[in-house]
Amino acid sequence: MEKLKVIFEDNHIIVVEKPPNIPSQSDKTGDLDMLTIVKNYIKEKYNKPGNVYLGLVHRLDRPVGGVMIFAKTSKSASRLSNQVREKVFKKEYLAVVDGKFEDKKGTLINYLYKDERNNISKVVNKEKKNAKEAKLDYEVIKYNEVKNLSLVKINLHTGRHHQIRVQLSNFNHSIFGDQKYGTRGKGKQIALWAYKLTIEHPISKEKMEFEDLPEPIGTWCILKNEQK
């Protein structure tokens, strides 16, 4: 495990970069997870005895990298969780996807059903039992004609299971390297990154934005010389 990249930290919150392929929290694999990594960092940095409190406010899918925020107090955790529910808490993503878009900007609205047994989500008719509305905005930043790949910025309105991956795949623009829903880049790292996080500070109420970009190598070479 590489050294933890801390983007911001005060007495109430800590914002870090989650590398790809690390779980947000412990799961059945038993692999080292971000919650544990950040707890260990705090314990070591501040020489804290016993258990360290750290609130998990949101998650990123295991293969996805990017900005994550954790709460260092229960009050901060509660207030940030309220922001998630009230949609004050906003996550924006970058993705490298298959093909050229007809429209530079657009909104995708679908109904998704989560198949718990197989851990996948599917686009379904809205009348299906347990179907939930999923909505996102996309904006094409750049198109690479040689590779037939587009760099896309995504703003989520809802936070459904595997939402970005399912909706883009259904739109015939699957994410490069997506092993579950993709058509291209099998065996590669999924090109989906949570690059921007906007919150109100849980104590000061100040609006805060945190950004973190993936290293421009591999599929992410498309980022080179590119402004967001």
The catalytic residue positions are 61
Residue 38 CA to residue 2 CA, distance in Å, equals 12
Output DSSP code: residue 27: -
Residue 5 neighbours by CB under 8 Å, 6+ apart: 16, 17, 212
Phi/psi region, residue 99 (left: phi>0; alpha: psi -120 to 50; beta: rest), is: left
What one-letter code names the amino acid at 176?
A: F
Pull the structure tokens for residue 32. Answer: 């080292």
The H or E element containing residue 40 is: helix 34-45
How far lies 198's CA from each of 4, 29, 169, in Å? 21, 31, 26
